[in-house]
Amino acid sequence: MVSKHYGESWCQKHLADQWLFQLQEKVDADLTEKARSKGCLLCGGRLHRSDYGRKSRGGPQWDVRFSLCCAREGCRRRHTPPSVRFMGRRVYAGLVVVLVSAMVHGLKPERVRMLRETLGIDRRTVERWRQWWLGVFPESSFWREARARFMPPLCLKTMPLSLCESFEVERRDRLLDLLKFLAPITTPTAWKELVM
């Protein structure tokens, strides 16, 4: 049985952790470098950095999404690598979406409301996230492949709290691991399948 205050302290700690935000930026830079070294997936051309403006709400103040562009004339295809900061087209940082959505299952509604208001998140937004985690995410091809690594199977009714518990995200490095685990779904291409 999960306590009704479960996770409140680590949730708030992570959401104010400047060091964590810096680590996330570094991980994103590494993911971008890794994608760049592979070259253009379409024509094999060289990729160069072509970042674009993207603001994150709800915690960390990021304003650039790292991205790449094929340098070859006639291709110029954009390749936006996975991210541990941005989640598809969501305006809130990925970690805000994960942690606040988890708290919907970990806290009493009153505490969730306080958390929401502190971060300036609309009630309907959190409700949409909840439906996404319970409906869209478990049906995604990403999850259908990834779920096998969780033994015993995770409780789908308390997603993403069950995911957070499994990764033991009280620790900063474990939260980062969870965000890395989710990174493949954050690219514009992968995200298309995950839009509600």
The residues of the shown chain that bind Zn ion, judged by CB under 5 A, are: 40, 42-43, 45, 70, 72, 75, 77
Shortest separation between residue 42's beta carbon and Zn ion, angstroms: 5
The reply to whether omega before 153 is within 30° of 0 (cis) is: no
Pair 65, 83: CB distance under 8 Å: yes
In this complex, which beta carbon is closest to Zn ion, that of residue 67 or of residue 101?
A: 67
Shortest separation between residue 193's beta carbon and Zn ion, angstroms: 23
Q: What are the residues whose beta carbons fall under 8 Å from the beta carbon of 87, sequence distance 6 or more? A: 93, 94, 97, 182, 185, 186, 191
In this complex, which beta carbon is closest to Zn ion, that of residue 67 or of residue 162?
A: 67
Distances (CA, A) of 80 to 39, 49, 192: 12, 10, 13
Q: What would you measure as the largest C-alpha separation in the chain, in angstroms?
A: 59
Shortest separation between residue 38's beta carbon and Zn ion, angstroms: 11
In this complex, which beta carbon is closest to Zn ion, that of residue 65 or of residue 79?
A: 79
Shortest separation between residue 88's beta carbon and Zn ion, angstroms: 23
Sequence-separated contacts (24+) of 37-41 with Cβ below 8 Å: 40/70, 40/72, 40/75, 40/77, 40/79, 41/77, 41/79
Shortest separation between residue 30's beta carbon and Zn ion, angstroms: 22
In this complex, which beta carbon is closest to Zn ion, that of residue 29 or of residue 75?
A: 75
In this complex, which beta carbon is closest to Zn ion, that of residue 40 or of residue 161?
A: 40
